[in-house]
Amino acid sequence: MLLQAVTGPAGQTWSPERFWQQRSGYAGSESCRGCHSGIYEKQEASSHARTLRPLSEVAEFKTGLPFELLDRVGNAGLRLSLDPSGSVLLSSVRGGEETSVSLRWAFGAGAKAVTPVTVNDRGDYVESRVSWFRGTGAFDLTPGARERVPGSFAETLGQVLSHEDRKKCFGCHTSRPMADDPVPARNEMGIRCERCHGPGLEHVRAASADSRRSSIFHPRDLTGFRMAQVCGACHGRPPREIDFDEIRQIQERPLAARFPSQRLVLSRCFNETDGGLKCTVCHDPHDDVASSPEALDTPCRTCHSPGRNSAAICPKASSNCSRCHMPKARVLHHTEFADHWIRAKP
């Protein structure tokens, strides 16, 4: 049953959405804590779990307020401040006009940046023109805002999101598919258990009944490419090996370094590993990316060490592999991304 839900009928193109539609209801991530407390607590503290939060929980947005910025593109003065209730208020002033909105949600864990989204008094979902960036520890215009001229004075506060755009935004920052009202409950904000393992109600029922039947999906059992597809639903859909035009675009566009699943599948490391190099070889899906060079080197040494196999040994260095072979690319203001197109000479 689960296998069919993941792969679809024979001959039908596989896509990661299929496993999110497996035949089970959602139990909620809290249901996983009882049996998997260690993993649950580690994942709860990870950046994935903080990719969407109420803005009131983000300390970076309250430190350094009030803040003012002259938006030359929008021809308006922008100001972030706290209102009497303690909420973050974004105001825009142009000539004698002024408009403001209370910011509600924080998109992004803060490892790179945090961008607020809110709802204005007309019911429109609005992406703030001001974001906070880890690289500078300060506020600046949201990526894309410099290239987007507001169509009205109201839009100097931020871009109005279409229904499709807001479903995509909330869809990549929450654990369940979005209904017409995309705002999730607080305990399902961020990427939690059921986003990767699929709906878990039947699994919880089986475990509660002490049944040997386990109806939960394990991404670890996927091939490298299928795992890249699952992760790539948010981190960039990887091209198939016959998608020549798409591959060329990913190779040639510097912005593609922002999407690790797309770049990884271009690598010899990926293509010369049996079954494809899996994301989880280097990344613990329940934890943040390792920060020390030693931890990052460990997967490389699995193959690139004397006597291991035929993989080449680096003639220049024996440590800090990613510094040269996965250099960081600055593709957005104040933000760098490790290029997952692993090459001998990038």
What's the pLDDT score for residue 231? 93
Low-confidence ranges of the chain (pLDDT < 70): 1-22, 178-182, 212-214, 308-310
Domain definitions of the chain by residue range:
2-48+185-208, 52-169, 219-338
Q: Considering only CA atoms, which of 285, 284, 296, 287 is closest in space to residue 322?
A: 296
Residue by residue, DSSP assigns 259-271 as -HHHHHTTSHHHH
Give bridge partners of residue 102 from the DSSP assignment: 89
Interval 83-96: pLDDT, tens: 999 899 999 999 98
Degrees, nearest 5: CA angle 103-107-112: 120
Pairing, β 138-141 against β 158-160: unpaired
CB atoms within 10 A of CB 185: 10
The full length of the chain comes to 346
Is-cis flag, bond preceding 66, omega within 30? Answer: yes
Note every long-range contact of 214-222, with CB atoms under 8 Å and residues 24 or more positions apart, other chains counting: 215/1, 215/2, 215/24, 216/2, 217/2, 217/6, 217/19, 217/22, 219/280, 219/285, 220/278, 220/280, 222/278
Decide: pTM greater than 0.75.
Answer: yes
